[in-house]
Amino acid sequence: MLISKEKLKHLREVAGLTQLDLAEAVGVTQPYIARMERGTLDPKLSIVNKIVDIVSRAREIRCEDIMTRDPKTMDARNSVASAIEDMQKYGYSQLPVVRSGRIVGMITERDIIRNLRHDLTKISVGAAIESSGPPRVDEHTPIDSILPLFDMYQAVLILSQGRLSGIITRSDLLRLGIS
């Protein structure tokens, strides 16, 4: 056997897969995987390669694994003053801005500072934001592929079926020791 029965079982468990999950992903039966793990079956090299590929992808950290779920958002019609209150209350430096459930941008400390000479109770968040916000990626996106985005952005918005489901900030990456 090219991969020991102990190693196979360990890789499968670390990946969080059951024998049935792995069997379905590989295209074999669950008893086939069980026999491999018992050491009573010597699989083809192509099967072993599929298994290694599947368990390595399953272990990959994805955005959904570290994102802050259901992030606090700010309606574009709310005042900048209300955004400041929420940002101070929750300790945020930025908030996603939505209009009718759709992301229209991000209100940041920089946006607020640029508007300090105005009455912030009378300026809408939508009018104060300077850009369409940070990049948006699907929640299944591997973390490795979004790391370069943090060279230019403070956060990445995470989508599930086109809807905001989370946010990843530099702080989230630092907590993981990835940054």
- pTM (2 d.p.): 0.66
User: For 2-43, how does the pLDDT look when each residue is reduced to its tens digit (9 = 90+)?
Assistant: 567 777 787 788 778 899 999 999 999 999 999 999 989 888
Rounded distance, CA 124 to CA 55, Å?
48
Residues 49-85: tens digit of each pLDDT: 888 888 877 767 789 888 999 999 999 999 999 999 9
State the pLDDT confidence band at 91, using cuts at 50, 70 and 90: very high
Domains and CATH numbers, the chain: 5-59 (1.10.260.40), 64-176 (3.10.580.10)
Nearest to 26 by CA among 11, 38, 40, 39: 11
Beta strands in 34-79 (DSSP E): 68-69, 74-75
Q: What are the b/e assignments for 125-155, b being 16+ CB within 10 Å?
A: bbebbeeebbeebebebebeebeeebeebbb
d(CA 11, CA 9): 6
Query: For residues 28 and 177, what is the distance between their CA atoms, to the nearest angstrom?
Result: 37
The rounded distance, in Å, linking the Cα atoms of 128 and 144 is 32
Contact of 114 with 31, CB cutoff 8 Å: no
CA distance 155 to 94: 9
CB proximity list for 121: less than 8 A, separation 6 or greater: 79, 80, 81
